[in-house]
């Protein structure tokens, strides 16, 4: 009896060991590319060509970072990523705020002020979340041209706001459904109007989903490449397009450390947001899988 | 009672619809009208600029007669089936492992999921570097003493598509894990306890009871990963740019090249419509069933 108990405990301990071992091995696999990016960006070019790939840099240098930030060539202009980083910021901030604000209003109407056909409206918007953008690229290019917005940051803000509304509406609609109708009905009886209820009841209650929406939109828009590469050229490109141009330079000795530093610069804003507010990011991520 | 409502009340009645109207208009134009517009270009003779004549399905015939498009379709098939299978497998294993009362579960989950916060251009750049045979993994293994080790898939036309699968799995399996884990947390613990009392081993319990109970999670994962697979564009562009040659061409890169680089707007539009139809065939039934279920649930 005692030995049987002992062997069961040992089997359990081995099982735990295997589980933790696998989890740690997986974590190492997931962290490896980030590790390689960071260490490579801190090495000198000679050290890289000398054959150090996975190890720590022998001497840490931030030269590649400063090159990527202010000197690397994108096409013929050697300005580094700085102006494109600014472009992305100018694009992402208004687009996030606009799409989140509009999504909040839409979600409010679709849950608390249902009208005939409001379910159809929601369905039409929902499909937009899963639109393969290739199907709208050509007309969008034409319309942006007609509006004289092609190749401009405001043009990209417009595009990201339009297609961002789909997801933000989904977020807020699914969140507001859980707020009891009695709350808004009581406020209505007390004489509060449409906007009064929205600003004094819904908005304060919606802070968590606002964070989710802002983080999701920020990540999506910052990381967008397709719209950027289709609708902009040269100076007005967002950072993802500029990064791709830096990396695909074929002239001369390939500067892998600068490539990696540039990739890290492009990744940092979303990475920081993820580290600070990952919980909210995951909620946005799984929203597409949660019942509508 | 027959008196008409004052005008302010009638405005108030219409206010919700008025607030909704601009968004609806924008979606109707930006999604549905634009789709129709693309459809129209796909049945016109457009090349460098759109022209709005009607040539029937000529562009579609031309598309399907293009060898490049065939490569793209075959690649999409190889890529999505492998990507779905491996991502789901890895994601499920991670979710099950994480569900065993793990210490530091939060930190591990964060590590598995962080790639989803990164741009495909960033991760593609990193993977291109890791898979570079002259300086990356191959060189490391060679210098460790295994001189004959070869891992140069990214430069081999027949194997390059698999390197994109590796990078895509790395980027998305945390996402599958998150959905599976949410599904696992929704399963009543008493089910497991009851089976354990009956004498079933843990692997058996998972294989025959718990995994079948994850069906809704599987459905979500399959649909969402298929969508990611079909629209995958940035990753291919960053890693191989469709090469070597056009060995890693996929429909999204084909569409972009035809439309913006090769002055075949009509063919590009036709390929975009093919992509849209594929996505719609997967997404619409899914959304329909999700919405119907939730309505019955209330």
Residue range B251-262: mean pLDDT, rounded: 91
Tell me the ipTM for this assembly: 0.88
pTM of the model: 0.90
- Partners of A244 on chain B (C-beta within 8 Å) are 121, 237-238
Residues A177 and A100 in one domain: yes
Candidate ranges A157-161, A203-207, B5-9, B230-234; pick with highest mean pLDDT: A157-161
Q: What are phi and psi of A74, to 5 degrees?
A: -115, 110
- Partners of B256 on chain A (C-beta within 8 Å) are 134, 226, 229-230
Partners of residue B164 on adjacent β-strands = none
Establish if A74 belongs to a structural domain. Answer: no
3-state DSSP of chain B: CCCCCCHHHHHHHHHHHHHHHHHHHHHHHHHHHHHHHHHHHHCCCCCCCCCCCCCCCHHHHHHHCCHHHHHHHHHHHHHHHHHHHHHHHHHHHHHHHHCCCCCCHHHHHHHHHHHHHCCHHHHHHHHHHHCCCCCCHHHHHHHCCCCCCCCCHHHCCCCHHHHHHHHHHHHHHHHHHHHHHHHHHCCCHHHHHHHHHCCCCHHHHHHHHHHHHCHHHHHHHHHHHHHHHHHCCHHHHHHCCCCCCCCCCCHHHHHHHHHHHCCCHHHHHHHHHHHHHHHHHHHHHHHHHHHHHHHHHC
CA distance B198 to chain A (A): 17
pLDDT above 80 (res B68): yes
- Identify the domain boundary among A40, A67, A94: A67
pLDDT of the residue at B166: 93
Domain locations along chain B:
66-297
pLDDT of the residue at B5: 66
Establish if A76 belongs to a structural domain. Answer: no
| Domain boundaries, position A239 | 82-287
Residues A191 and A156 in one domain: yes
Question: Is A40 in Cβ contact with B19 (below 8 Å)?
Answer: no
Nearest to A33 among B28, B123, B241 (CB): B123
**CATH number of the domain at B66-297, please?**
1.10.3720.10
pLDDT above 50 (res A91): yes
pLDDT tens per residue, range A138-176: 999 999 999 998 889 999 999 999 999 998 999 899 889
Residues A131 and A274 in one domain: yes
pLDDT of the residue at B61: 92
Residues A30 and A152 in one domain: no
Residues A138 and A254 in one domain: yes
pLDDT tens per residue, range A51-75: 667 778 888 888 889 888 988 877 7
Question: Is A37 in Cβ contact with B126 (below 8 Å)?
Answer: yes
Residues A96 and A59 in one domain: no
Q: Which of A33, A40, A34 is nearest to A63 (CA)?
A: A40
Chains A, B: CB contacts within 8 A come to 263
Total domains present in chain A? 2
Cα–Cα distances in Å, from A72 out to A87, B35, B43? 16, 39, 44
pLDDT above 60 (res A291): no
pLDDT band, very low/low/confident/very high, at B297 (cuts 50, 70, 90): very low
């Amino acid at each position: 009896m005692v030995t049987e108990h002992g062997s069961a405990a040992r089997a359990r301990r081995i099982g735990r060991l295997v589980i933790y071992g696998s989890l740690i091995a997986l974590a190492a696999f997931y962290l490896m590319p980030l590790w390689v990016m960071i260490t490579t960006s801190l090495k000198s070019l000679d050290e890289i060509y000398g054959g150090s790939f996975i190890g720590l840099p022998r001497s840490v240098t931030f030269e590649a970072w400063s090159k990527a930030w202010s000197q690397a060539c994108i096409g013929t202009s050697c300005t580094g990523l700085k102006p494109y980083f600014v472009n992305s910021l100018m694009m992402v901030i208004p687009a996030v705020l606009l799409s989140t604000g509009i999504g909040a209003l839409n979600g409010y109407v679709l849950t608390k002020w249902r009208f005939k056909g409001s379910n159809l409206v929601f369905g039409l918007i929902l499909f937009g979340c899963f639109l393969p953008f290739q199907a709208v690229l050509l007309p969008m290019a034409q319309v942006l041209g007609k509006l004289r917005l092609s190749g401009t940051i405001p043009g990209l803000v417009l595009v990201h706001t339009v297609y961002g509304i789909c997801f933000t509406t989904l977020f807020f609609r699914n969140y507001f459904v859980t707020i009891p109708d009695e709350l808004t009905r009581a406020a209505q009886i007390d004489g509060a109007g449409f906007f009064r209820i929205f600003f004094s009841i819904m908005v304060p209650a919606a802070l968590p989903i606002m964070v989710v929406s802002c983080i999701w939109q920020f990540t999506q828009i910052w990381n967008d490449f397709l719209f950027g590469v289709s609708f902009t050229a040269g100076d007005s490109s967002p950072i993802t397009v500029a990064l791709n141009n830096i990396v695909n330079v074929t002239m001369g000795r390939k500067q892998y450390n600068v490539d990696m530093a540039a990739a890290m610069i492009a990744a940092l804003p979303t990475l920081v947001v993820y580290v600070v507010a990952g919980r909210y990011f995951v909620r946005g991520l799984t929203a597409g899988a949660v019942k509508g | 009672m027959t008196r008409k409502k004052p005008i302010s009340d009638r405005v108030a009645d219409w206010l919700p619809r008025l607030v909704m109207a601009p968004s609806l208009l924008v979606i109707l134009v930006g999604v549905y009208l634009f789709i129709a517009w693309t459809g129209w270009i796909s049945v016109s003779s457009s090349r460098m600029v759109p022209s709005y004549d009607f040539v029937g399905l000529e562009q579609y015939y031309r598309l399907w007669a293009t060898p490049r498009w065939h490569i793209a379709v075959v690649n999409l098939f190889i890529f999505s089936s492998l990507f779905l299978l491996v991502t789901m497998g890895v994601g499920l294993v991670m979710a099950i492992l994480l569900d065993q009362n793990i210490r530091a579960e939060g930190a591990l989950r964060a590590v598995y999921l962080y790639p989803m916060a990164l741009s495909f251009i960033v991760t593609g750049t990193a993977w291109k570097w890791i898979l570079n045979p002259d300086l990356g993994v191959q060189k490391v293994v060679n210098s460790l003493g295994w001189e004959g080790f070869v891992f140069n898939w990214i430069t081999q036309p027949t194997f390059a598509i698999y390197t994109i699968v590796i990078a895509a799995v790395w980027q998305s399996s945390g996402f599958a894990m998150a959905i599976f884990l949410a599904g696992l947390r929704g399963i009543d613990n008493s089910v497991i306890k009851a089976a354990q009392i009956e004498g079933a081993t843990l692997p058996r319990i998972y294989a025959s009871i718990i995994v079948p109970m994850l069906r809704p999670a599987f459905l979500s994962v399959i649909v969402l990963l298929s969508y990611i697979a079909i629209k995958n564009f940035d990753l291919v562009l960053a890693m191989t740019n469709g090469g070597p040659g056009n060995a890693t061409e996929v429909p999204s890169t084909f569409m972009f090249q035809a439309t913006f680089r090769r002055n075949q707007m009509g063919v590009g539009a036709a390929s975009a419509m093919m992509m849209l139809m594929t996505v719609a065939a997967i997404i619409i039934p899914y959304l329909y069933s999700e919405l119907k279920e939730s309505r019955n649930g209330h």
